[in-house]
Amino acid sequence: MVFGADRPFRLIVTGGGTGGHTYPALTAVRTLQSRLTAQGVGLEVLWVGKADSLESRVAEAEGIAFTSVATGKIRRSKNPVKLVSPSNVADMSRVPLGVLQARKAINSFRPHVVLATGGYVAVPVGVAATRLCRVPLVVHEQTVRLGLANRTLAGTATRVAVSSESTLPLLPESVRTAAVVTGNPVRPEVFTGQGAKAVEALGLDGFDRRLPTLYVTGGAQGSQQINHLVRDVLPWLVDRANVIHQCGPDNVTELRQATVHLPATGAGRYHLAGYVGAELPDVLALADVVLSRSGAGTIAELTALGKPAVFVPLASSAGNEQVHNARHLADHGAALALIDDVSAERLREAVAPLLADPGLRSAMAERARTLGRPDAAERLVDVVLAAAGA
């Protein structure tokens, strides 16, 4: 197909519910926009998602047209009886309506391709695209194993973009021919960080730059599990490292109490923050080691940057995906993972060698970097354009 300023490329993007599905989609849209603008080609985007959701708010903030469809969420259970619970049955009964609404949106917008990044909202849109509208569908998976929504769509997708080579053997044989490894798109601003700016912006005057810096994060809302692990080893930790601890806005007061008995020098090496926003790229640049959950977005950023990490997976993550993610990196020597024994003593055993040995940190960083794909967004855009015949 030939595109230009007067014949724009039209993309429908769907996926959301969490940042892990939403932000890779947004990064792909931004990257596609930059690519096409440089070529003198216009871009029209419609985001199809759930009403009053993260993806609807992101689309509005970015000036992307948005329409909603009915969705149905499957509540997973090892007990087959619970799979047919009233809530599951009620939700799944909404999917056919969502498919019809998606078909209407697709037929009206006439996209050249649909990009689905997961989450249950992607299912009706992907089904409508392939089964009813015959529009090329690109499915993108952020984690090592396909999520439930993407497993549902993979069999009819034009291309299945995955984040890791390790995903390929886990795919059904019928899907492997459509699979391509792109990596997980990482926000470009992550690569622009400068450690000195973090020191200035956060007022880290008490940090001892001869010591390594540990960045602790449990996500935007914080993690009680990670917070308590750090609290329980804090006196030991600040003897060996500077610590930036992003604990979640609701947890600051509780954790502030843990610093009361620290000596002045130790307290000066501990910076507690409810939330780290625009400073995050600079904080990551400053960090020598990261302690965090192992969501797909975090994995993508830390491997692209080549950061040694200790992961404490969220045990309740959908499909146990965070455990799979963490174990994948640990198996390659690119991180450490606290999975079965998640205790303060185990954390201390894991972190101590990394803080003490720059060579160990350097080796782990290099192995992490080999698994990272900083050009993932460009690769995914290549796949999207190829699927559309552009």
- Read off the pLDDT of residues 4-39 as tens digits, 9 standing for 90 and up: 778 999 999 999 988 889 999 999 999 999 999 999
226: closest CA among 208, 242, 209, 247? Answer: 247
Look up residue 179 and give its two tokens. 């699979």
pLDDT at 135: 98
- pLDDT of 357 over the 50 cut: yes
- pLDDT of 182 over the 70 cut: yes
Question: Could you identify the residue written with the tokens 């040995």?
Answer: 357
Range in 94-98, 238-242, 358-362 with the lowest mean pLDDT = 94-98
187: closest CA among 27, 18, 21? Answer: 27
> What CATH number was assigned to the domain covering residues 9-186+375-387?
3.40.50.2000
The mean pLDDT value of the chain amounts to: 92
- pLDDT of 106 over the 60 cut: yes
The secondary structure element, H or E, covering residue 59 is helix 54-62
**Radius of gyration, alpha carbons of the chain:** 22
Instruction: Determine contact, residues 22/15, Cβ cutoff 8 Å.
Output: yes
pLDDT at 144: 86
pLDDT digits 0-9 by tens, 302-325 = 999 999 999 999 877 766 889 989
Look up residue 31 and give its two tokens. 């990257």
- pLDDT of 373 over the 90 cut: yes
pLDDT digits 0-9 by tens, 241-279 = 999 999 999 999 999 998 898 999 999 999 999 999 999
pLDDT at 332: 95
Domain boundaries, the chain: 9-186+375-387, 188-371
Crossing angle of helices 19-38 and 54-62, rounded to 10°: 20
pLDDT at 197: 97
pLDDT digits 0-9 by tens, 165-178 = 989 999 999 999 99
pLDDT at 105: 98
Q: Report the C-alpha gap between 128 and 138 in whole angstroms.
A: 13
Q: Report the C-alpha gap between 143 and 33 in whole angstroms.
A: 25
Instruction: Determine contact, residues 13/29, Cβ cutoff 8 Å.
Output: yes
Fold matches, 9-186+375-387 and 188-371: yes
pLDDT digits 0-9 by tens, 51-99 = 999 999 999 999 999 999 998 765 444 555 454 556 555 566 678 999 9
- Measured CA to CA in angstroms, residue 324 lies from 123, 312, 367 at distances of 23, 12, 18
Q: Report the C-alpha gap between 122 and 150 in whole angstroms.
A: 8
In degrees to the nearest 10, what's the CA dihedral of 54, 55, 58, 62?
-170
State phi, psi for 49 to the nearest 5 degrees.
Answer: -155, -160
Amino acid (one-letter) located at 238: V
Instruction: Determine contact, residues 102/129, Cβ cutoff 8 Å.
Output: yes
The secondary structure of residue 370, as a DSSP letter, is H
State phi, psi for 326 to the nearest 5 degrees.
Answer: -65, -45
Share of the chain above pLDDT 70, in %: 94
pLDDT at 73: 65
Instruction: Determine contact, residues 137/112, Cβ cutoff 8 Å.
Output: no
Class of domain 188-371: alpha beta
